[in-house]
Amino acid sequence: MFKRLVTLSKTHSFFLFGARSTGKSTLLDQEFNHQSALWIDLLDPETEERLSSNPAQLKQLVATSKPGWVVIDEIQKVPELLNVVHSLSRSDGPRFALTGSSARKLKRGGANLLAGRAFNYVCHPLTHLELGERFSIDEALRYGSLPPIPGLDDGNKRDFLRAYVDTYFREEIVAEQIVRKMKPFRNFLQVAAQMNGKILNRNKIARDVGVDHVTVQNYFEVLEDTLVGFHLEPFHQSIRKRQRAASKFYYFDTGVTRALTRRLEVALEPGTSAYGDAFEHWVILEIKRLCDYFQPDWRLSYVRTKDDAEIDLIIERPGMKTVAIKIKSSRRITDFDSKTRAFTKLVADLGPCESFVLSQDPWEHKQGDTWIVP
């Protein structure tokens, strides 16, 4: 059992969103007493059918048990329940803890999102802080950090990740009828994994998958709405220009990404491009997770120039200096590294900011104004 970084309200209703198997239900198990809370699991087919056919039955359940809290797992299964939750929230009734692994049905169906009556939280795979002494960078790169992973041996880790991808496809996509044609979407999942962390060319992806670019755009929205990926937008002071430039896309977990590319059996060797890509992916995921938990107003982006000079990650911090980050899996960073030199020159054009190279160099030191941090 891991102590999670998510701090849930004890006095206010809330949504807790996160992809499947990120530990939402386990977290609520730790936070709420089953004897004093009413638990409703919409993954149970009988419960889902009963409440979808008669959402008002929730009022009867609350009236009968008079709980202090009502926990509803996977609320997107029966979004009509949110109207009842809203009604009960306006009285002196219970508070609600609502989990979801997909925001698509809620967003697309115009579901009642409680008009500010509920806080929003997110649950990610485990961070290095949550794993503590059980954290291993090599394990994180190869298998990711979904909560079931640390307790499995290598063979079962691979089986779990393959099953995870299959379960996502069957339960989130097929069962919810999110896309009409299954084969191109399956192909898209693999192509998107191969493009993970790269600047997106939607027209090329469309050609590779055999669909049009509008469909590709919809597919990426599906991945975001089902919480298995996110876009990293290009940096620009102008929001309009930021939205016009091409973004990068990252899956939410390194292990799931490797499962989608069918490379779970392939070793990740330090010094290879695959290892470097996985290292960069993990660092960006880790920073995003920690920002979501502790600094949700910070904004992440990247910079790439026409001559391929790049800042892998920019963190805009309201009221504080912007942070520019270069991510390198190398164990030794020197002044003579061409990419590091290009990074420091590009940072100088940003104006006042703090700059770091995050690497596996064990020696923390400074090159000019840039900190090299292990």
Q: How far is CA 223 from CA 21, 39, 77, 366, in A?
A: 16, 28, 17, 39
**CATH of the domain spanning 14-122, picked from 3.40.50.300, 3.10.20.600, 3.30.1490.190, 3.40.190.10:** 3.40.50.300
C-beta separation of 161 from 262 below 8 A: no
C-beta separation of 228 from 188 below 8 A: no
Q: What is the pLDDT of residue 34?
A: 74
Fold of 128-265: Arc Repressor Mutant, subunit A (1.10.10)
The token pair that represents 84 in the structure block: 């009842």
Strand, helix or coil for residue 360:
coil
pLDDT in tens, 147-180: 999 999 999 999 999 999 988 777 777 665 567 7
Residue 225 contacts by C-beta under 8 Å, 6 or more apart in sequence? Answer: 102, 103, 104, 107, 108
Q: Whose CA is closest to 94, among 25, 160, 11, 168?
A: 11
The token pair that represents 153 in the structure block: 């041996």
Domain boundaries, the chain: 14-122, 128-265, 280-373
Could you say which residues of the chain have pLDDT below 50?
none
CATH topology agreement for domains 14-122 and 128-265: no
Distance CA 225, CA 253 (A): 16
Residue 359 contacts by C-beta under 8 Å, 6 or more apart in sequence? Answer: 327, 328, 329, 330, 331, 333, 372, 373, 374
Residue 187 contacts by C-beta under 8 Å, 6 or more apart in sequence? Answer: 208, 209, 210
Distance CA 164, CA 251 (A): 14
pLDDT in tens, 201-243: 999 999 999 999 999 998 899 899 889 999 999 998 766 666 6
Residue type at position 103:
A
Give me the half-sphere count of Cα atoms (radius 13 Å) on the Cβ side of residue 180. Answer: 3
Q: Whose CA is closest to 284, among 245, 257, 320, 266?
A: 257
Q: What are the DSSP calls for 207-251, one per residue?
A: HHHTS-HHHHHHHHHHHHHTTSEEEEEEP-SSHHHHHHSPPEEEE
Q: What angle do CA 51, 54, 55 make, to 5 degrees?
A: 65
Cβ atoms < 10 Å from Cβ of 274:
16
- Judging by DSSP bridges, how do beta strands 365-367 and 370-373 pair with one another? antiparallel
Q: Report H helices in 54-125.
A: 57-65, 81-89, 104-108
Fold of 280-373: Trna Endonuclease; Chain: A, domain 1 (3.40.1350)
Q: Whose CA is closest to 149, among 141, 138, 161?
A: 161
DSSP 362: S
Q: How far is CA 353 from CA 134, 243, 323, in A?
A: 34, 23, 6
Length of the chain: 374
pTM, two decimals, is 0.92
C-beta separation of 218 from 185 below 8 A: no
